[in-house]
Structure 1
């Protein structure tokens, strides 16, 4: 199992979606955890740019103001989300 946890300081920055997508595919990641996303919500378009083949289940905690926010992606064929 391979994963990445990163304090990215803003998912909305130019080129970040491509960077994340490349990291997922280049390293065959099973999970991805992002801190300091600085976003309240993620559109399906944004998630498609990060995960074009819809391999991951995405869960997030919205940011408060201009800081915070956590996002986690789990590869659906490898890991299971239990709530």
Structure 2
């Protein structure tokens, strides 16, 4: 099982979606946690940039003001989300 926890300080930065997608595919990541996303909501379009094949289940905690925000993803076929 492989995971990534990253204080990314802004998930909407230029090139971040490509970087995350590459990391997920290159290292066969099973779970992903991004801190300091600075986003209140994640559109399906943005999620598809990270996960173009829909192999992850995504949950998030919205940012408050100009700080915070957490995005978590788990690979559906390897892990089970209980709550």
Q: Same fold (TM over 0.5)?
A: yes
Post-superposition offset of 1:17: 0.4
Q: How big is each residue's C-alpha offset from its partner over 1:26-66, in whole Å with a ceiling of 9 and x where there is no partner?
A: 00000000000000000000000000000000000000001
Q: How big is each residue's C-alpha offset from its partner over 1:14-35, in whole Å with a ceiling of 9 and x where there is no partner?
A: 0100000000000000000000
Number of residue pairs the alignment of both structures matches: 83
Task: Classify the secondary structure of the residue corresponding to 1:19.
Answer: helix
Alignment-derived partner of residue 5 in structure 1 = 5
Q: TM-score, normalised by structure 1?
A: 0.99
- Aligned Cα RMSD in Å? 0.3
**Which runs of structure 1 show a deviation greater than 3 angstroms over 4 or more consecutive aligned residues?**
none
Alignment-derived partner of residue 27 in structure 1 = 27
Q: Which structure 1 residue ranges, 5 or more long, are not aligned?
A: none
Q: TM-score, normalised by structure 2?
A: 0.99
